[in-house]
Amino acid sequence: MFDLVVKGGVLPDGRQADIGIRGDRIAAVEALPDGVAAGAVIDAAGDLVCPPFVDPHFHMDATLSYGIPRINASGTLLEGIALWGELKRDVTVEAMVARALTYCDWAASMGLLAIRSHVDVCDDRLLGVEALLEVREKVRDYIDLQLVAFPQDGLFRDPGAQANLIRALDRGVDVVGGIPHFERTMEDGARSVRVLCELAAERGLMVDLHCDETDDPLSRHVETLAHEAQRLGLQGRVAGSHLTSMHSMDSYYVSKLLPLMAEAGLAAIPNPLINIVLQGRHDGFPKRRGLTRVKEMQAHGIPVGWGQDCVRDPWYSLGTADMLDVAFMGLHVAQMTSPAEMQRAFDMATAVNAQIMGIAGYGLAVGNTASLVVVDAGDPVEALRLRPPRLAVIAKGRVIARQPRNAATMSLPGRPASVSRRCKPDRAG
Residues serving a catalytic function are 213
Per-residue x/- mask for Fe ion, residues 159 to 198, rule CB under 5 A? ----------------------------------------
Q: Please, what is the minimum distance in Å from the beta carbon of residue 173 to Fe ion?
A: 16
- Smallest distance from the beta carbon of 356 to Fe ion, in angstroms? 14
Cα–Cα distance, 123 to 130 (Å, whole number): 11
Q: Which residues pair with 5 in a beta bridge?
A: 20, 41
Q: Is 208 in the site for Fe ion (CB under 5 A)?
A: no
The amino acid occupying position 134 is E
How many angstroms separate the CA atoms of 346 and 377, rounded? 13
Helix/strand/coil for 231: helix
- The least distance separating Fe ion from the CB of residue 326, rounded to whole angstroms, comes to 13
Nearer Cβ to Fe ion (11/348): 348
Query: Do residues 209 and 241 lie in contact, with contact meaning Cβ atoms separated by under 8 Å?
Result: yes
Tell me the DSSP string of 277-320.
HHTTTT--SSPP-----HHHHHHTT--B----B-SSBTTBS---
Q: How far is the CB of 309 from Fe ion (least distance, A)?
A: 5
Nearest approach, Cβ of 150 to Fe ion (angstroms)? 8
Nearest to Fe ion by Cβ — which residue?
A: 309
The Cα-based distances of 4 to 27, 28, 394, 406 in angstroms read 10, 11, 10, 24
100-119 positions binding Fe ion, by CB under 5 A: none
Question: Using CB under 5 A, which of the segments 96-104, 306-314, 372-380, 398-406 binds Fe ion?
Answer: 306-314
Residue 174 or 309: the one with the smaller Cβ distance to Fe ion is 309
- Length in residues, the chain: 429
Q: Is 309 in the site for Fe ion (CB under 5 A)?
A: yes
Of 213 and 228, CB closest to Fe ion: 213
The footprint of Fe ion on this chain (CB under 5 A) covers a number of residues equal to 1
Nearest to Fe ion of 211, 381 (CB atom): 211
Q: Which is nearer to Fe ion, 309 or 426 (CB)?
A: 309
Instruction: Quote the CA–CA distance of 225 and 162 in Å, as a whole number.
Output: 18
CB of 264 to Fe ion, least distance (A): 21
Among the residue ranges 68-76, 127-135, 245-253, 309-317, the one whose residues contact Fe ion (CB under 5 A): 309-317
Residue 154 main-chain phi, psi, to 5 deg:
100, 130
Choices 92-100, 121-129, 303-311, 378-386; region in contact with Fe ion by CB under 5 A: 303-311
Paired sense of beta strands 48-50 and 418-419, if any: unpaired
| For Fe ion, the closer CB: 47 or 55 | 55
**Spatial distance between the Cα atoms of 204 and 59, rounded to a whole number of angstroms:** 23
Angle value at C-alpha 161, between 257 and 69, nearest 5 degrees: 100
Span near Fe ion by CB under 5 A; candidates 10-18, 140-148, 301-309, 320-328: 301-309
Residues that bind Fe ion (CB under 5 A): 309
